[in-house]
Every structure is written in structure tokens, then in C-alpha cells.
């Protein structure tokens, strides 16, 4: 179906406000990380999510804690939206032992297993089969949880994407494929790499629902995600959501890539004018869900959280060099109940 233009309904003011806070938290965290990368305080490659906040927020707000989310190299937004701790995120970017991945992963490999965020991966499409596997596990164990795979438009060029859509649809697995179409696969415009740029159409070939959403409209993302999630929970199978959006910064790092001739300033400005946060904020204020004083309070609170996260990161120690080999292998399972060892 084409872009869904139906107005929102049935979203409580509390959820709407929480989504606003989450989006602003993602934005401010990413802006701060951008500054720190520019200042060479943070060295590991950071792919910033600024401009795309509505998608992670809209989808994750419709999930339960026990539902799983898989992310990509552009991972911070999904992590925060699923409820990830920004203290341990920041410490991870500094390579500290107190980081969410204990200084072994960095920006592209963050984790929070207790809240259904097993990890993010830097290989394009790499986590899509994993999300299908989580869906398979829920299916085998007859649980009504769902798995979400976030990925970019570039990922739809990989074979594993199609294998995953087919298998999930074939077995009616509870998986939501969320494509964040930000129009660029690193430097390459989508028109240069896809023979048909309507990504949501690919769902048809696998007999699953596919919708195209304005990915800068948080409420629409939430509504469509909720629909797909309910569909999956009922055992009806996967859905593909294509969310149209734009990343304000370059593929990696804090710069905007306009000077490199990779995209035009006009294009960037046109998308900045469609800021998903300003849009939701204006809506909430118009609906009297958010007051001016509350808005200021939220803003201050987030700034405070970020300051605290930096202090937390600062305070943490680096891993010891003699712990290089730690975590190559997990501890073996105790097999004593299985029978004799010889």
C-alpha cells in the first residue's frame, strides 16, 4: 500500500510525551557524540542517527521489553529507544571497561541483553537473519513476542535480506523488518543502486504486508509498527515497513558531507525543515500535551543526563592489556549431568 495518510488515533498522551523525550534524548546524545568525535575525544567510528529519531522511537515505543531489537552500524538511536543506558553507551565509546560492551565493541557493537537488545553489527544486513532466528525461537517456543530488524536501504541489496524475508514469510515468523530509507547507501544515492526504489514493494513478492511510511512522522511510525507487531503476535507473520527519512550528518562522523559533493545543501536543508522532533513537539504543544515549562524541564533534564554520562565515562577504567584474550570463548557448560566425560 502507498504512503499511509490516516491521522493518528489511540495513542495516550503519556506515550506521546515519552516518545518526545526519547527522541530529544537521542538527538542530544548524538549531537554531543558528534562534538566529541570532532574534538578527537572519541576515536571509534560513530554513525550518527540525527534526523532519523522518529523511526527507532516510534517502533520501540510499540514494543514490550521482552521483544528483541537488532541494530546496525548506526546503532545509538535504536539502543536508546529500546531503553539502553546512556552512561554505559558513552563509556563504551571511550573504550572503557564500564561500557555496555566492556570496551570490546565501540559504537557499532553495543548491547543491552536484559532489555531485548542483544547487539548491533557493522556488516550490512548481518543482523537481519539473526532477527529472523529470534522470531523462529519465539515461534518454536510458542511465545507471543516479536523480533525487529532495523536496517538501511543499502541492506536491501544483499542476498541475505531476501533469504530472510522468504524464510520469515514461509514460516509466518513474528518479525518486523524496518527499513530506514535515508536515501543513501554510504555515499551512493538509492537511485544508483536499486532498480526499483520502492522498497516496501518487495514485500509483495513474499506475500507479506509492506507499507511505506513518512519516517519523520513519529505517530505514523508508531501506528504502523503497532499494526505490524499485533499482526506478528497473532501468528500471522512478518511485515516490511519502509520508513522514508534522511540522515543529517554524513555516513560516518559529525560532518555533513555536502562539501565533499556527495549530496546538495539544498537537499539537506529541505529535510532539516522536516525535523521529526520539531514536528512532534509542535503537535504536542498544540494538543496541550506539552507545555512550554515542561519542555524546558525536559531539555534541562536531558542535558543533565548527558553530563552525568560523560562523568560516568570519564570515571571508568580502561580494560587491562592482559585481558585481551578474555571473552574469546564463553565458559563451557557444565555437562556433568549429561553423562560421563572420558
Q: Which residues bind another protein (CB under 8 A)?
A: 68, 99-105, 109, 111, 113, 118-119, 121, 123, 126-141, 147, 159-160, 163-164, 166-167, 170, 326-333, 335, 338-342
Give least dist CB 319 to another protein, A. Answer: 9
Give least dist CB 250 to another protein, A. Answer: 24
Give least dist CB 225 to another protein, A. Answer: 20
Q: Residue for cell digits 537521542?
A: 26
Nearer to another protein, 104 or 226 (CB): 104
Give least dist CB 74 to another protein, A. Answer: 17
Nearer to another protein, 207 or 300 (CB): 207
Nearer to another protein, 13 or 113 (CB): 113
The span from the CA of 30 to the CA of 293, in Å, is: 24
Query: What pairs with residue 214 in β-bridges?
Result: 244
Nearer to another protein, 1 or 330 (CB): 330
CB distance 335 to 341 below 8 Å: yes
The helix/strand/coil state of 69 is: strand
Give least dist CB 142 to another protein, A. Answer: 9
Give least dist CB 36 to another protein, A. Answer: 21
Query: What pairs with residue 244 in β-bridges?
Result: 181, 214
The helix/strand/coil state of 5 is: coil
CB distance 53 to 276 below 8 Å: yes
Task: Using DSSP bridges, classify how beta strands 68-71 and 147-152 pair: parallel, antiparallel or unpaired.
Answer: parallel
Which residues have C-beta within 8 Å of that of residue 222, sequence separation ≥ 6? 8, 11, 15, 19, 58, 59, 61, 62
The helix/strand/coil state of 13 is: helix
Nearer to another protein, 125 or 239 (CB): 125
Amino acid at each position: 500500500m502507498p504512503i499511509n495518510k490516516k491521522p493518528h488515533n489511540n495513542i495516550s498522551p503519556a506515550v506521546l510525551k515519552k516518545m518526545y523525550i526519547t527522541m530529544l534524548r537521542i538527538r542530544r546524545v548524538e549531537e554531543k557524540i558528534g562534538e566529541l568525535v570532532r574534538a578527537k575525544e572519541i576515536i571509534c567510528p560513530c554513525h550518527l542517527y540525527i534526523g532519523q529519531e522518529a523511526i527507532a522511537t516510534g517502533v520501540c515505543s510499540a514494543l514490550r521489553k521482552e521483544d528483541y531489537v537488532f541494530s546496525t552500524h548506526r546503532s545509538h538511536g535504536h539502543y536508546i529507544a529500546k531503553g539502553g543506558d546512556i552512561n554505559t553507551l558513552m563509556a563504551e565509546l571511550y573504550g572503557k571497561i564500564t561500557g555496555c560492551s566492556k570496551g570490546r565493541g565501540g559504537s557499532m557493537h553495543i548491547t543491552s541483553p536484559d532489555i531485548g537488545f542483544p547487539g548491533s553489527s557493522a556488516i550490512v544486513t548481518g543482523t537481519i537473519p539473526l532477527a529472523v532466528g529470534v522470531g523462529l525461537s519465539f515461534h518454536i517456543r510458542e511465545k507471543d513476542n516479536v523480533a525487529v530488524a532495523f536496517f538501511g536501504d543499502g541492506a536491501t541489496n544483499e542476498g541475505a535480506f531476501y533469504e530472510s524475508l522468504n524464510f520469515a514469510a514461509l514460516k509466518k515468523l513474528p518479525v518486523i523488518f524496518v527499513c530506514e530509507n535515508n536515501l543513501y547507501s554510504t555515499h551512493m544515492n538509492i537511485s544508483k543502486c536499486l532498480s526499483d526504489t520502492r522498497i516496501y514493494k518487495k514485500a509483495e513478492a513474499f506475500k507479506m504486508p509492506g507499507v511505506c511510511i513518512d519516517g519523520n512522522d513519529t505517530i505514523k511510525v508508531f501506528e504502523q509498527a503497532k499494526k505490524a507487531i499485533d499482526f506478528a503476535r497473532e501468528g500471522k507473520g512478518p511485515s516490511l515497513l519502509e520508513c522514508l527519512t534522511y540522515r543529517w550528518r554524513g555516513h560516518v562522523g559529525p560532518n555533513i558531507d555536502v562539501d565533499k559533493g556527495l549530496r546538495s545543501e539544498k537537499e539537506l536543508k529541505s529535510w532539516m525543515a522536516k525535523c521529526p522532533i520539531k514536528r512532534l513537539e509542535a503537535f504536542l504543544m498544540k494538543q496541550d500535551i506539552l507545555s512550554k515549562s515542561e519542555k524546558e524541564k525536559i531539555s534541562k533534564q536531558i542535558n543533565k543526563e548527558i553530563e552525568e554520562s560523560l562523568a560516568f565515562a570519564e570515571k571508568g577504567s580502561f580494560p587491562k592489556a592482559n585481558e585481551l584474550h578474555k571473552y574469546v570463548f564463553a565458559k563451557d557448560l557444565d555437562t556433568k549431568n549429561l553423562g560421563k566425560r572420558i
